[in-house]
Amino acid sequence: MSKVKIGIIGTGYIGNVHGRIYSADDRAEVAALYDIVPEKAERTARSIGGRVCASREELLDNCDAVLVCTPNRTHREIATAAVEAGKHVFCEKPFAIGIDDAKALFETAKASKGIFQVGHNRRFAPVYSTLKSLLSEDAAHSAHIKMNRGELKNPVWTGDVSVTGGFLYETTIHLFDMIRYQFGEVSELAAYGSQHEYPELDEFSVIFKFANGSHCTFASSSDASWHFPFERIEVFCHHRTIMTEEMERILDSRGMDANFTTSTFHMAEKEERWGYKQEDAAFINSILTGEPPLVGAEDGFKSVELVESVYNAIRTGERVRF
């Protein structure tokens, strides 16, 4: 069987993470690289191989599947061009910026014969797949969630709204996708936001209600220090608390005597602990089998819809109902 030829657009941090993973996957070949800064693609080629392309068109002519690993605002346009060229597409998060772009890309992806996967890697992280399997045997009543960052200074563009679309698009969106994955569709939300350190809303408190009747509180701060765990989901079930700590471990406390069991993943390498290796393998599986991806274009669209709904709720002071 011939290998799936991978083309990477944007060979910065995450482009290299995926590139390294695919260079070790027997079913894939890193075939083509393109970056608007050619030296970056050349550096990647020296470490993992691949043809350095002088244009996006040249890249599209030399691969079967495209990884969109460029800054947030470019995703819609680049992913659209890749779908229209008949390629399978893996689009890093966020799917798009703004509801109009998200709708347009969703429509394009729906019409595609290829696979379209979105880079919400956390769905594949062992901590979160374990949580999903625990919740499949016990219903969540409510949850308490946080998704913080220490700063918006590194990389420099993380504090630039013209690049990110806003803090919620850059960081928080990962757990917005996660709450849908764990608790199902959101039926209603109320949100508050404020601005302290950066020239944008940088601190958020949101209450989500889900279609299944459960609900959660959700805090997200952009300047909270990198205090461990900067992301955590605590779920409360019948005489039971299940708590994640970043992607390091998950604690499960059942009954009334406060005992708990811990599953820890800290010995796994980061690419596996954070789910990158599994999401990349899943993309190739879907290409080879036609099986729909675990995180598709509709999930990408809905994560953008949640971000925009939270910004709208803050702007108007009104609850958003879905």
Query: Given the rule CB under 6 A, which residues bind ligand NAD?
Result: 9-15, 34-37, 40, 69-72, 74, 92-93, 119, 121, 155, 170
End-to-end CA separation in angstroms for the chain: 45
* Closest distance of CB 43 from ligand NAD, Å: 10
Residues 6+ positions from 5 with CB-CB distance below 8 Å? 28, 29, 31, 32, 62, 63, 64, 65
Q: CB-wise, 57 or 318, nearer to ligand NAD? A: 57
Distance, CA of 280 to CA of 116 (rounded, Å): 12
* Closest distance of CB 163 from ligand NAD, Å: 9
Q: CB-wise, 252 or 308, nearer to ligand NAD? A: 308
**Residue pair 167/200 in contact by the 8 Å Cβ criterion:** yes
* Closest distance of CB 35 from ligand NAD, Å: 4
* Closest distance of CB 140 from ligand NAD, Å: 25
Distance, CA of 163 to CA of 94 (rounded, Å): 11
* Closest distance of CB 215 from ligand NAD, Å: 27
Q: CB-wise, 118 or 140, nearer to ligand NAD? A: 118
Q: CB-wise, 167 or 311, nearer to ligand NAD? A: 167
Pairing of strands 88-91, 65-68: parallel
Name the residue with the smallest CB distance to ligand NAD: 12
Q: CB-wise, 88 or 120, nearer to ligand NAD? A: 120
Distance, CA of 82 to CA of 116 (rounded, Å): 10
